[in-house]
Structure 1
Amino acid sequence: MRSLLAGVRVIDFSWIGAGSYTTKILADLGADVIKIESSQRLDTLRVTKPFKDGKPGVNRSGYFADRNSSKRSITLNVKDPRGLDMARRLIADAHLVTNNFTPGVMDKLGLGYDVVRSLSERIVYASMSMQGAEGPEKADLGYGLTIAALTGLQHMTGLPDREPAGTGTNYPDHIPNPGHTAFAILAALRHQRRTGRGQFIDLAQMEPTLAFIGPSLMNYLVNGAIDSRHGNARPGHAPSGVYPCAGDDRWIAIEVCDDAQWQGLASVLGLAAETDWATMQGRLRQREAIDAEVAKRTATQDMSGLTQALQDAGVPAGAVYDARDVVNDPQLDARGHWVTLNHPEMGPSTYNSPPYRFSHAYSEPSSPAPLLGQHTAEICRELLGLDDAAIEKLSAEGVLA
């Protein structure tokens, strides 16, 4: 089967989270993503845990590997005029240039949009800063934590009457930001194919994150109400939360949305038919008492067995999986979600497939994450026409480093 983005070449200056995940989406669909790296300033994820066998190394980060499957890596010192010229030559024959730096960084490197556009009228140039290229806060440096804080996501996550807890490392730059950027890129590439002209894509990572809190934004705009933290409980539903199960750190999520589901839950758990609990209004008034009764009964039951029993009774319920459960999930296995690729240093390694399957196209990761500079000589020979002597000289002089 063919890859849908075969023939598309991407010169990728992005690093860490959102930018790297965006270009992973493209690479796994067949685009030739050339990651521009430097041994002088490493992509932070290359030195971020977890490491294979707990042994640190620039080629041993599972975090980096997950964000960079199917790509090629070249080490290139663009602060050297010769390295900058090589970067520009690569760009001139590419379809797309990406970065997720603060506005102005690419200009300082001599690779801003105006320069790149002069190299190729058809180029698509995707920039992913925190606040966008214009506005009073455009120069702000952003990370997942700060994006979550500034969009209100942090404020809404945690337990009632406690400080904002956030979502751990499940930051906005993992899903909404790269997803929105990839969509914009595909639209721009379609325009490029039809007209021969490029686009400057200015994505502010603050803005896709707002999709997470749409109902709360509407609640404020319409009602003037500010939603806050309510833990695992969903307002308006009771019982609604996460309850303990038998075993070490095993839990089940349950949400009762109507009275019929309540009857199903009461039947499975053997809850007393309290008159006041028969209606949602009554259950909301006595939420804490109901939670205590539900927790008392779930605590003695097997997580998976109870999940199935509740689902069979028409009650929305789900086992709370940890990483061990997710990797061994039979549904993911049936869909072929996990792909094993042989990494040059880490050996056989497990990678995520994209969450979509095509009827007549290939969509799995095609190669493991690259070693630092793994494809430097290959790219220099293939795309820049350099011979081995020139490559060796440039490497010795720190241009290819």
Structure 2
Amino acid sequence: MSHKLPLNGIRVLDFTWVGAGPLTTQVLAEYGAEVIKIESGTRLDYLRLLPPFKDGKAGVERSGYFSNRNPNKKGISLNLKHPRSMEIIKELIKKSDIICENFTAHTMEKWGLGYDEVRKIKPDIIFAGMPLMGADGPHANYRGFGVQVSALIGILHLTGFPEREPFGMGTNYPDHVPNPVHTAFAILAALRHRKKTGEGQYIELSQIEAPLCVLPTPIMDYMMNGRVQNRQGNQHFDFVPHGIYPLQGKNRWIVLSVQSEDEWQALKAAMGRPEWAEQDAFTANAGRIANQAELNELIGRWTVNYDGDELLRRLAKAKVRAGLVKDARDVLNDPQLNYRKHFVYLDHSEMGYHVYNYAPVHMSKTPAVVDQAAPLLGEHTKQIMKDLLNLDEATFEELKKEGVFD
């Protein structure tokens, strides 16, 4: 690391697991925070049990999913049912700035680690909780993951084709974007508040509320027009052509989007102004909307004659919005992403060199650093007990023998 990062000196006790929580603390770790991930060998982070596994061989240290969510972190493993584990956690709290957790509402309170208890130990602590449904209300104790959030706030209702059942997005969007981003931003705001006032605070991020902030159109459409938007497939309400079209080769596709008359003329020019494109039915956007099934079929007959890269260059030159539909292999070999050094390869203790995403924000003075692979279960337990809590070797071994560290 050749520069001082903005969160150097900030310590985070990371109780999070699965998706939204670990991604929140990952952002903090990329900008210099010391993130101590607290795990339990008897209640593993669910991601450790999920594929893809290195070489297809399952194991708690072999999940690429877990690994990609937890770089730059230190890991300790505690038996949270052991009373002396709570003593250790309370000592760690005294030396920390932030606690982050994404359990079901009031789980931390049941452990005696709710905000009211924690601030007695460290009055200026910043405590970020991420309960699925919020901390109160009739459904506060409901459980779920990102897919349940997507269902509850209407994302699944909008994904798929009009005549088919909802079929999701292929990823848990709330876990990966709005929930961690909103929480990380709130934590940074709380740190600024603490710097100015000396006061810590409690942050509550409802995982069903944050993604609604980036889904305004369906809500506003219903409020203003009484209209419930339905699944549209690849279509757009207002612009045509707008869809996915076949290319040469098996399962290769390109996305096109035309949003003005000038862009329609540009697409026609790129296609060589075929006679069918000059039909009256396609002259205006309203006609193209009314006849979009026929238009999409005709455009597909043209795109299928081209290699994807060749057609993308042609459309980019014509200033037509276009993008290739890429699989994971394509993405890892993408020349733009690799030029910008988006992928980082780190040496994991068990899996060897493994790919991680670099931070998508590039800062000129304090760029993020991703330089440590995800921790093994309890990898840094001894180091943190000795260096941070000043436990001597005999005490550490005694606690280990008692089953405090699992």
TM-score (norm 1): 0.98
Alpha-carbon distance in structure 2 between the residues aligned to 1:314 and 1:28: 36
Identify the residue that residue 31 of structure 1 maps to in structure 2: 33
Deviates more, 1:269-278 or 1:5-14: 269-278
Gaps of 5+ in 2: none
Identify the residue that residue 369 of structure 1 maps to in structure 2: 374
**Are the counterparts in 1 of residues 399 and 405 from structure 2 also a CA contact under 8 Å?**
yes
Alpha-carbon distance in structure 1 between the residues aligned to 2:214 and 2:247: 29
Identify the residue that residue 59 of structure 2 maps to in structure 1: 57
Alpha-carbon distance in structure 2 between the residues aligned to 1:110 and 1:79: 12
CA shift at 1:142, angstroms?
2.4
Alpha-carbon distance in structure 2 between the residues aligned to 1:211 and 1:309: 37
What pairs with 1:66-105 in structure 2 (closer than 5 Å)?
66-105=68-107
The C-alpha deviation readout for 1:56-101, integer Å capped at 9, x for no partner, is 1111111001110000000011221100000011011100001001
Alpha-carbon distance in structure 2 between the residues aligned to 1:276 and 1:203: 50
What pairs with 1:264-275 in structure 2 (closer than 5 Å)?
264-270=266-272, 271-272=274-275, 273-275=278-280
Identify the residue that residue 234 of structure 1 maps to in structure 2: 236
| Corresponding pairs, count | 401
1:392 aligns with 2:397: yes
Structure 1 counterpart of 2:82, which letter?
D
What pairs with 1:2-401 in structure 2 (closer than 5 Å)?
2-270=4-272, 271-272=274-275, 273-401=278-406
Alpha-carbon distance in structure 2 between the residues aligned to 1:236 and 1:9: 48
Alpha-carbon distance in structure 1 between the residues aligned to 2:185 and 2:195: 15
**Are the counterparts in 1 of residues 14 and 25 from structure 2 also a CA contact under 8 Å?**
yes
**Are the counterparts in 2 of residues 121 and 197 from structure 1 also a CA contact under 8 Å?**
yes
**Are the counterparts in 1 of residues 105 and 132 from structure 2 also a CA contact under 8 Å?**
no
Structure 1 counterpart of 2:352, which letter?
G
> 4+ residue stretches of structure 1 with deviation over 3 A?
none
Alpha-carbon distance in structure 2 between the residues aligned to 1:155 and 1:102: 25
**Are the counterparts in 1 of residues 218 and 229 from structure 2 also a CA contact under 8 Å?**
yes
Alpha-carbon distance in structure 1 between the residues aligned to 2:191 and 2:265: 53
Structure 2 counterpart of 1:178, which letter?
P
Alpha-carbon distance in structure 2 between the residues aligned to 1:392 and 1:169: 43
The C-alpha deviation readout for 1:95-114, integer Å capped at 9, x for no partner, is 00010011121111121111
Alpha-carbon distance in structure 2 between the residues aligned to 1:138 and 1:147: 13
Structure 1 counterpart of 2:300, which letter?
A
Specify the SS of the correspondent of 1:296. Answer: helix
Specify the SS of the correspondent of 1:53. Answer: helix
Alpha-carbon distance in structure 2 between the residues aligned to 1:16 and 1:332: 26
Structure 2 counterpart of 1:88, which letter?
K
The C-alpha deviation readout for 1:163-217, integer Å capped at 9, x for no partner, is 1111122331111100000000000111112222110001101111113321111
Specify the SS of the correspondent of 2:176. Answer: coil
The C-alpha deviation readout for 1:133-190, integer Å capped at 9, x for no partner, is 1212111112111100110111011011111111122331111100000000000111
Gaps of 5+ in 1: none
Alpha-carbon distance in structure 2 between the residues aligned to 1:205 and 1:152: 13
CA shift at 1:389, angstroms?
1.9
Deviates more, 1:264-273 or 1:57-66: 264-273
Deviates more, 1:314-323 or 1:114-123: 314-323
Deviates more, 1:290-299 or 1:391-400: 391-400
Sequence identity (%): 46
Alpha-carbon distance in structure 2 between the residues aligned to 1:208 and 1:322: 29
CA shift at 1:28, angstroms?
1.1
Alpha-carbon distance in structure 2 between the residues aligned to 1:3 and 1:362: 7
Alpha-carbon distance in structure 2 between the residues aligned to 1:258 and 1:27: 43
Structure 2 counterpart of 1:39, which letter?
G
Q: Please, what is the CA RMSD of the aligned residues?
A: 1.1
